[in-house]
Amino acid sequence: MSMLMLPAEDWSAVARRIRRSGASVAWSWVAISSASSGWELAVLSVRGCTTVQKAFHRYPDVIIATEQLTPTVASKRFLEGWTGAVPGLKEGLPFPPMKGKSHPFWVTSERDHEHYLVPPDWPQYYFHHSFGSTSDLATRILDPLHAEKLPFYPNLVAALAEIVYGIPPTRVPTSFSPHVLVRLPDRRCRIGAVTFNDGTVQIAIEEGRPAGSLGCCLRVVWRRESTDTEWIKSDLRIEEPGILSLETAGMPAELWALLVDLKGKVLDRSGWSASSGMRPQVAGSLTARVERWLTEGEHGQLEYKQKLGEDKAKRSFAETVAAFANGAGGIILVGVDDDSTVVGYDVPKAQDQIVDLIRNRVVESVAVEVDRVEVEEKPVYVVTVSPGDPDAKPYRCGGRVMIRALGTTREATTREIRMLSTEAVPRSGIFQ
């Protein structure tokens, strides 16, 4: 998913968006007990197009509450800056409205990466406002949550994930300031799977409500080669959900598709380049896919290795595996030279050798598949590396953290290592 910056808005503009969201709103919040000032609001989450059951859990030091509101009621509370009535308290808990303006974001459904606090589903409006620098919530975030006649959670993160944000616990940061979060999904339509089949890029358009895609347009631009200066452009009108086909001959070096509605508003985006995005799945047999990959040249998710005999070659191979695992995954073709020439890799028990090499040189354990195909009557081994488990990152080889950048493998900087250790879960970019 990618975050596209929208024009700056004030508090009342955000409230109007909530009112116009057109579906039920999940209004959820968390309060922390303070010795000096009683209960203080720590988190407010406003989720559009969401149905929830009302809940009010008052633990000794934490209150977690959620209820379903109409967009009008949710907008009114948001504008007034209070949670609504709180059982046991004379008044609801206040939160300070934002002063001035701030830039919200439009979050697309792009599959290359996901972001904290955003579920990987529909494109959505995203507004985040911090109203404090610190919170007692951070000191209790990993403590068990338990009280008689109330649900037990292994930690506060789990409760926040389920009740407040509606996301898996792995997507909740363990350190954050008091904030207001507004997420308003647009379920009219989105870009689905993108595939490449015999010279044609096929882009799926999916609907979340009947006739949601009617009148929309998919604006596509692409370059056949990375050295091309001119873009080829095509606008595809949409009448119903389904597959839109674009004849491109070969796999484009770069392609971007923008889904817009009748008024030109951006709904979603998908695409790829040498350094970003996620290339499409390649349809057909594994042999056909290998033949296609041989025409692409090495890039962010594709690497060629001629042989694995010498220690230098083994180290380079293992470093690439670690780099793919630290990113969105990738494919390594063993038995192919750097210039895409098929030289073959014909050694005894090659598959076992490849698996053992990865197991012995890459830390932590990496999920890989190794397949053998015949290309030009020569054996080529296809090593498919899955995106690494975020809890296991960063993956290391020889004590070094490796990443992919501009189609090459290199050692990560200190800042990049920190980002790997805290990044959200990447979506698979492997060519299936």
For the chain, give every residue range classified as CATH 2.60.40.10: 189-272
Q: At what angle do helices 71-80 and 11-19 cross, to 10 degrees?
A: 170
- Cα–Cα distance for residue pair 31/58, rounded to 1 Å: 9
Using one digit for the tens of pLDDT, what is the confidence trace for 368-424? 999 999 999 999 999 999 888 888 889 999 999 999 887 789 999 988 888 787 654
* Residue 210 reports pLDDT greater than 60: yes
Could you report the per-residue pLDDT of 55-80, keeping only the tens digit for each?
A: 999 999 999 999 999 999 999 999 99
Spatial CA neighbour of 332 closest among 284, 385, 276? 385
CATH 3.30.950.30 domain locations along the chain: 284-422
Look at residues 308, 310, 394, 401 and name the one whose alpha carbon lies nearest to residue 358.
Answer: 308
Q: Which residue has the higher pLDDT, 247 or 387?
A: 247
Q: How confident is the model at residue 134 (pLDDT cuts 50, 70, 90)?
A: low
Contacts of 390 (CB under 8 A, 6+ apart): 170, 423, 424, 425, 426
Residue 431's pLDDT is 41
The predicted pLDDT at position 384 comes to: 93
Q: What tokens appear for 72 in the block?
A: 């009008």
Beta bridge partners of 101: 10
Q: Mean per-residue pLDDT for 241-261?
A: 92
Query: In the 3-class helix/strand/coil scheme, how is 236-282 assigned residue by residue?
Result: EECCCCEEEEEECCCCCCEEEEEEECCCCCEEEEEEECCCCECCCEE
Q: How far is the C-alpha of 332 from the C-alpha of 317, rounded, in Å?
A: 8
SS3 52: coil
Instruction: Compute the distance between CA of residue 426 and CA of residue 39 in angstroms, rounded to an integer.
Output: 37
Orientation of helix 311-326 relative to helix 350-361, angle to 10°: 70
425 pLDDT tier (thresholds 50, 70, 90): very low
Report the alpha-carbon angle 232-238-240, nearest 5: 145
Where does the pLDDT of residue 275 fall: very low under 50, low under 70, confident under 90, or very high at 90 and above? low
Cis peptide before 394 (omega within 30 of 0): yes
What CATH number does the domain located at 189-272 have?
2.60.40.10
Q: Where are the beta strands (DSSP E) in 131-199?
A: 179-185, 189-197
Instruction: Please report the beta strands in 89-237, taking only residues with DSSP state E, as ranges in sequence order.
Output: 101-102, 105-107, 124-130, 179-185, 189-197, 200-207, 217-223, 232-237
Adjacent-strand bridge partners of 322? none
| Kind plus residue range of the DSSP H or E element containing 355 | helix 350-361
What whole-number percentage of the chain has pLDDT above 90? 65
Confidence of residue 432 (pLDDT cuts 50, 70, 90): very low
Measured between alpha carbons, how far is 283 from 201 in angstroms, rounded to an integer? 10
3-class DSSP state of 408: strand
Give pLDDT tens digits for 298-343.
Answer: 887 899 999 998 999 999 999 999 999 988 788 999 999 999 999 9
Please, which contacts does 167-175 make with residues 24 or more away whose CB atoms are closer than 8 Å? 167/117, 167/118, 167/119, 170/390, 170/391, 170/425, 171/114, 171/116, 171/117, 171/118, 171/119, 171/424, 171/425, 172/116, 172/117, 173/116, 173/117, 173/422, 174/138, 174/141, 174/142, 175/138, 175/141
* CA separation, residue 27 to residues 10, 15, 69, 172, 343 (Å): 20, 13, 7, 18, 61
Peptide bond preceding 364: is omega within 30 degrees of 0, i.e. cis?
Answer: yes
CATH 3.30.950.30 fits 284-422, yes or no: yes
| pLDDT score recorded for residue 1 | 55
